[in-house]
Structure 1
Amino acid sequence: MIQKSKYIYYLFLIFLSFSVLAQGQKNDRIKNSSWQSAPFEVVNSNYKTFKMTQYAHVFSGSKHNVVRIAPELQGLKGVELPLDKYKNGTNTPLKLKFKEPVQVLIGIFQEKNNAEYLQLNNQTNAKLVLENGATITGLPPINVYAISFPKGTHIINPERKGLFTVLGVIKNNQQIVSRNTEFPDGKLWNPTFIVEGFSDEKPLFEIIGGENKPVIDEGFPDAEGIQGGFEGGRVVKVGDTYHMFPTERAGEKGVEMYYDRVKTKIGHWTSKDAIHWKRQSTILQASGTYAITEDDNPMNDRRAAIWSYMPVFNEKANKWYGYYLAYTVHKEIQPNHSFGRIWRCESTVDGINGIGGPYKDMGIIMEPGLDSQPWEGRQGVASFFPYQVGDKWFGFYSGAYPFESWADYPKKSGKGWFVALAESNSLEGPWHRLNKGLEPIKTIHPSFVENPIVSQLPNGLYIAIFDGGPEGWGHHLPNMIGYTLSKDGINWGEARYLPIETKVDKWWDIMRTPLCLIPEGNDVYTIVYNAIDLKKRFHPTGMVKIKLNREVMESRLKELE
């Protein structure tokens, strides 16, 4: 009898487990499915509507965009309100016409005791349905309320002033499960940023497709012995062949993951389609030796880690030059990669087809010194890319982990990834920090620009494509590839960001560095990029195609004149 009772009890537990699982799956389906949209019309105003998706710009004339969104809101139609007018109470009333009873989803910013933001106070018709239901860059946390309206024409928020957002209109008989999505505060994203195709302006580039998975990944041919995958470098096209020079995070088997970033190589890979790659050779090999002192001391191996190889063809010398970064690496002090120096090497084989080398070192062209500035920080000089403007050469160089002043040297560093310009009369140098490097360029983004690569568009505009910064490791950055434009190659405009995942399956968690912007004809360009899948030690390489809009290109040129 005891055994039979125990058997029945176990059957009951199994049944209960399945019941709980089934109920959980049902709740998940409710949570993860969009609410059913109801049609509506905006009456007697020029307010536009928008589709509620990630990166949507929810206010007209504003750069604020959605970076977190509850799945229930996905795809609903919202209304763009003029941000400043609603904040100061000079807005035209929002009048909506409904063909049936509806619920209007209103986003209320949780900024207490602030007259700029609408507060519902004791409005009885408002039901809280999503606490922290969306995140909009640069703005306070959002609670989403459902407010019922009968069929007909109604003024939304007729008496109260203050900023809110209309995130959608849904059918009145929706089954709504109220919950807290626990999305973060939008003020963590500062400043706001412009995402191509989601703002009021027309995009310069359209994402037209690409590979829905990495083109080089763990276990691929020729990737054995590269423990940590790839990060940075450059791809160029010679004839019908792509040549890639990535930083290989080689590391060693059985050694901690961080060592992948120390024992690095610069490889040479080739491809006919930017999809199928074959490794040809090793261009450079780092020592992987940790520093023995905390400062920039010649006792330390200053080539412990090698990164960011940039091949540039020198037509005058008729040979390929390579510019690359060599670091001192300290095991305990952040950032571990410190006191970067830029080296130049050149191919021993003349001509455009000498790109594969071998290469010989020609010495250091830029390093920490008397003309360094505190903003270059403990990590700088952290990258370099040269490009020609007229009869002069300019080069983006970077710094990271800035010192507030030299009194903070060598260990007390802050956060920020900055670029500035150096100039020279030739690719060989000498290179000098433009304006003595007093200030970094902050017109592109005030706190993060990494590894810019410069080329020119068909109308002569200079374009720099760069790593826009991670959303991860405590950072709230765009997590997309960025680009910036310049008419003269010296003054650079505000960054725009490319939402690759809108046309390519998102296999990555953290987007990192673009390696090229290669014209393929018919205004189509190829981008090869590195990204991180947090489930893997290996950082893969991807590929995407984008298409240039010439009409927008010309309008951007006029804006810069």
Structure 2
Amino acid sequence: MFSKSTKYNFKLDTAFLMLCLVFFQFSVKAQNPPWQAASFEVVNSNYKTFKTTQYAHVFSGSKHNIVKLAPELQGLTGVELPLDQYKNGTNAPLKLKFKENVQLLVGVFQEKDNKDYLQLSAADNAKLVLENGVTVTGLPAVNVYAISYSKGTQTILPKAKGLFVVLGAVKSNQNLVARNAEFPDGKLWNPTFIVEGFSDEKPLFEIIGGENKPVIDEGFLGTEGIQGGFEGGRVVKVGDTYHMFPTERAGEVGVEMYYDRVKTKIGHWTSKDAIHWKRQSTIYQASGTYALTEDDNPMNDRRGAIWSYMPVFNEKANKWYGYYLAYTVHKEIQPNHSFGRIWRCESTVEGINGIGGPYKDIGIIMEPGLDSQPWEGRQGVASFFPYQVGEKWFGFYSGAYPFESWADYPKNSGKGWFVALAESNSLEGPWTRLNKGLEPIKSIHPVFVENPIVSQLPNGLYIAIFDGGPDGWGHHLPNMMGYSLSKDGVNWSEAHYWPIETKVAKWWDIMRTPLCLIPEGNDVYTIVYNAIDLKKRFHPTGMVKVKLNREVMDARLKELEK
């Protein structure tokens, strides 16, 4: 058992190691610049080409994307091969026309004796240049080989059977220094996922830009007393003013960063442009008190940490309601946030302009109990967002760290972040778990959906935006914000994910939670989001703009109506 001071030093050492890792990765990139590309044409086929970069879609008729690649390959031009045809051997030979002598870079999946994948032979004259050089979602680890071809039209691996990746061509005199890039097996990313703009489907949203740095960061006016930055909550726009209610990971000066997750506040911030923000008030303050027992016991402080404040305007009551999450917090057992309960509060000021409160608590609307299911797990009811469909109200609620059965209660939990629906005839409740909460919604993503916020698109489609999960901390998830669509507000489509770093500078390592999808006119929407820079204790807030494609929107509606 570590003492408190030992734990603190251990976390400092961990932070130092992360800094060393970042420096090492930067050094590797500096030492391994991109190889010099050679141009080519695809002959007598409709195969598309792609830019070899993160999220590149490498096979037509699939969802497989590159999630990691060696910097030497960055920016080359690959060929998008048809997945099924190459797997079953019915593909036509790939012919490429080269303007000069080249070395073609071919990615080979490292799964011997599997006929689905190309098995190179000595006759192919392939030279291994990058071991574990690429990670493709859902597929085995990739070794990259260089194969020499002369100027002119050439048939690529004419006798080859099975799937492989064409990653690009480089000049024949390019010195390809062999190394092991040490990227992980793509099967860790399971299932594969659809990245907006990097698939066979036309994107519903185009990323059109945004801020290349955080809009709220450490040291900004209003962040005094907030040690750990922000995570979750909601942004709404009233008139020409944005109102943000983030979870402020307050912590305490001189106390280890872990406590940032425990002693939290719900703040109220405003802005005229979603870029320059001013803190107005504190809506709620958690106690920051750790639990005394391992179970969900009333002797514990059940408001040890407060998170995920969701303001919703009730037109019938003519006032703002707030829904937020209160946790019991255990110091040793993961997850430290446990047995979540959803509280409802009301603004004491009537009308749309009463959004700033003050708010008064009305009571708990959802909590662990006899109608809970094991998948809700130790974290309990871990978020809540209500939305209206006709005369009925539905609410996304979530659970995490699931129990396989109630025999595992209170601390033998697994991994998974799930959502399901509750229903009510009014915002006041009572709220009932739909289908008795027997199964979570896995159509969006089978293992990770967190903090969904629902609105409607111009054609009536419901859209839920959410945190898609980190690629870090031992998790292999999209590391992007995602969205799902629904025609009826009950049945939800497979997720699509936004690679916003293709249009704005990537200042984060781990993407977290979108707080809004606010229409600004001319089909442009504002997204405010939280993310993590691993070099900092403080988790900043960013902003990006996306533009809706109405043609794609209407096509998606028709698909969901089938």
Instruction: Show the counterpart of 2:139.
Output: 139
- Match of 1:354, SS? helix
Q: Deviations over 1:305-324 (max 9, x none)?
A: 00000000000000000000
Displacement of 1:121 after TM fit?
Answer: 2.8
What is the rounded CA distance, in whole Å, between the counterparts of 1:29 and 1:282 in structure 2?
Answer: 44
State the TM-score, normalizing by the size of structure 1. Answer: 0.94
Q: Report matched runs for 1:408-427 at 5 Å.
A: 408-427=408-427
Larger CA deviation: 169-178 vs 207-216: 169-178
Instruction: Show the counterpart of 1:300.
Output: 300
What is the rounded CA distance, in whole Å, between the counterparts of 2:57 and 2:29 in structure 1?
Answer: 27
What is the rounded CA distance, in whole Å, between the counterparts of 2:159 and 2:275 in structure 1?
Answer: 59
Instruction: Show the counterpart of 1:186.
Output: 186
Instruction: Show the counterpart of 2:9.
Output: none
Q: Report matched runs for 1:453-492 at 5 Å.
A: 453-492=453-492
Instruction: Show the counterpart of 1:383.
Output: 383
Displacement of 1:458 after TM fit?
Answer: 0.6
Larger CA deviation: 420-429 vs 70-79: 70-79
The reply to whether residue 343 of structure 1 matches residue 343 of structure 2 is yes
Displacement of 1:325 after TM fit?
Answer: 0.3
Instruction: Show the counterpart of 1:269.
Output: 269
Q: Is the 8 A contact 1:31 1:71 kept in 2?
A: no
What is the rounded CA distance, in whole Å, between the counterparts of 1:392 and 1:288 in structure 2?
Answer: 37
Displacement of 1:133 after TM fit?
Answer: 1.0
Q: What is the alpha-carbon root mean square deviation over aligned residues? A: 1.3
Instruction: Show the counterpart of 2:111.
Output: 111
Instruction: Show the counterpart of 2:39.
Output: 39
Larger CA deviation: 387-396 vs 157-166: 157-166
Displacement of 1:237 after TM fit?
Answer: 0.4
Q: Report matched runs for 1:42-191 at 5 Å.
A: 42-123=42-123, 125-191=125-191
- Match of 1:545, SS? strand
Q: Is the 8 A contact 1:30 1:177 kept in 2?
A: no
What is the rounded CA distance, in whole Å, between the counterparts of 1:29 and 1:502 in structure 2?
Answer: 19
Q: Is the 8 A contact 1:138 1:192 kept in 2?
A: yes
- Match of 1:80, SS? strand
Q: Deviations over 1:258-305 (max 9, x none)?
A: 111111110101111111111111101111111101000001111110
Displacement of 1:115 after TM fit?
Answer: 1.4
What is the rounded CA distance, in whole Å, between the counterparts of 1:169 and 1:35 in structure 2?
Answer: 9
Q: Deviations over 1:187-225 (max 9, x none)?
A: 111110111111111111111111111111111101010
What is the rounded CA distance, in whole Å, between the counterparts of 1:407 and 1:64 in structure 2?
Answer: 38
Q: Given the superposition, is the C-alpha separation of residues 50 and 436 from structure 1 closer, same or farther in structure 2, using an over 3 Å criterion?
A: same
Instruction: Show the counterpart of 1:397.
Output: 397
Displacement of 1:28 after TM fit?
Answer: 6.3
Instruction: Show the counterpart of 1:435.
Output: 435
Displacement of 1:33 after TM fit?
Answer: 2.2
Displacement of 1:249 after TM fit?
Answer: 0.5
- Match of 1:84, SS? helix
Q: Is the 8 A contact 2:232 2:307 kept in 1?
A: yes
Instruction: Show the counterpart of 1:546.
Output: 546
Q: Deviations over 1:214-272 (max 9, x none)?
A: 11111110101001111000000000000000001111111111111111110101111
Q: Is the 8 A contact 1:452 1:464 kept in 2?
A: yes
Larger Rg: 1
Instruction: Show the counterpart of 2:515.
Output: 515
| Amino acid across the alignment from 1:321 | Y
What is the rounded CA distance, in whole Å, between the counterparts of 2:86 and 2:463 in structure 1?
Answer: 36
Instruction: Show the counterpart of 2:524.
Output: 524
What is the rounded CA distance, in whole Å, between the counterparts of 2:503 and 2:237 in structure 1?
Answer: 24
Displacement of 1:178 after TM fit?
Answer: 1.4
Would you say how many aligned residue pairs link Structure 1 and Structure 2?
A: 536
What is the rounded CA distance, in whole Å, between the counterparts of 1:160 and 1:179 in structure 2?
Answer: 25
Unpaired segments ≥5 residues, structure 2: 1-23
State the TM-score, normalizing by the size of structure 2. Answer: 0.94
What is the rounded CA distance, in whole Å, between the counterparts of 2:379 and 2:484 in structure 1?
Answer: 24
- Match of 1:123, SS? helix
What is the rounded CA distance, in whole Å, between the counterparts of 2:396 and 2:447 in structure 1?
Answer: 16
Instruction: Show the counterpart of 2:537.
Output: 537
Q: Is the 8 A contact 2:124 2:147 kept in 1?
A: no
Q: Deviations over 1:20-71 (max 9, x none)?
A: xxxx9xx968853222222222222222111111000100111000001111
- Match of 1:290, SS? coil
Unpaired segments ≥5 residues, structure 1: 1-23
- Match of 1:328, SS? strand
What is the rounded CA distance, in whole Å, between the counterparts of 2:32 and 2:500 in structure 1?
Answer: 23
Displacement of 1:152 after TM fit?
Answer: 2.1
- Match of 2:86, SS? helix
Displacement of 1:452 after TM fit?
Answer: 0.2
What is the rounded CA distance, in whole Å, between the counterparts of 1:123 and 1:137 in structure 2?
Answer: 29
Q: Is the 8 A contact 2:133 2:183 kept in 1?
A: yes
Displacement of 1:473 after TM fit?
Answer: 0.6
| Amino acid across the alignment from 2:294 | E
Aligned sequence identity (%): 87
Q: Report matched runs for 1:209-288 at 5 Å.
A: 209-288=209-288
